[in-house]
Chain A
């Protein structure tokens, strides 16, 4: 192979490599049932310190990705709060605020008097980690840290009672 052909080959490889890296770095990993929950330490929304889903290992965790500008999130927040109160003996609802600004998020929590713990993800990093395509999305995580149920969209009391309660009570 001549030097010129080798240089052309290298140039083509570099361009293809760049395109591939760009595509892979934008790729979303969709989380499925049975997968380990994508987890990382995040700042507590409106408070001091950090937290993660792993802090609740040994309990069921209903991870709720939400944003204050999202209409359906306003509908489900009170229902999630009520559900968290009713099943606090074995389940924690954990809100992760995404693609939002903190002041709006805190105003939202005050408006709906939400009491369950909240973490904050800067930008859409957590949404992408979960493979979420919008908000709200909910993920039920079992006590071993594996995803037990993926709920792409808002939840209400009827749905939670029908789909989540049997799992956390060991009847699913």
Chain B
């Protein structure tokens, strides 16, 4: 048996019955609060839209937005979780109430297209760098090759004349 279990058994055997009952009652009351963390209106306002205004709810002040906030406050007061409140909003106002696109159907392109574009851009960059490095870096400037033949003889003569 764990230390916690042993402590509980000892506590239950030694404590007066009324105290045990009170403890059990408090534990029962505390359990739902721990299982379902409360959300807040500010936590939701930046994740849902005011469908009539076409903006985030946190930016909207229209009468419809005020009614939407009242509905959210009521659902919070009823102890609903964040996702439950979002589901309730969707059942009332439709999918357009969600600020983030859904994860199925055409909405999925909102997530897929940027990801695919990123992968394509990285691949294109990698290919470009590889090709550039394979070509040997920057081409040599014109005239960088050492002179040959008559030019080489003239260069040697000039250098000798200046005793360099």
Contacts and interface: CB of A to CB of B under 8 A. Distances in A.
Given A123-B94, A123-B95, A99 B64 contact: yes
Interface stretch (A47-55, A101-109, A140-148): A101-109
A122 B66 contact: no
Contact of A124 (B51, B63, B67): B51
Q: Which 4 A-B pairs have the closest CB atoms?
A: A123-B94, A69-B63, A101-B92, A69-B64
Most chain B beta carbons < 10 A, residue from A21, A25, A124: A124
29 contacts: A18-B109, A18-B113, A25-B106, A67-B64, A69-B62, A69-B64, A69-B66, A69-B67, A70-B63, A71-B63, A99-B51, A99-B52, A99-B64, A99-B93, A100-B92, A101-B67, A101-B68, A101-B93, A103-B71, A122-B91, A122-B93, A122-B94, A123-B51, A123-B92, A123-B96, A123-B97, A124-B51, A124-B52, A125-B94
A95 to B, nearest CB: 17
B106 A21 contact: yes
Interface of chain A: mostly helix, strand, loop or mixed: loop
A68 B95 CA distance: 20
Contacts of B91: 122
Nearest to B63: A69
Interface residues on B, range: 10 to 19
Interface string A56-95: 0000000000011111000000000000000000000000
A99 B94 CA distance: 9
Q: Which of B62, B66, B92, B109 has the most CB of A within 10 A?
A: B92
A10 to B, nearest CB: 12
A99 B50 CA distance: 10
B92 A102 contact: yes
B87 to A, nearest CB: 13
Contacts of A101: 67-68, 71, 92-93
Contacts of B94: 122-125
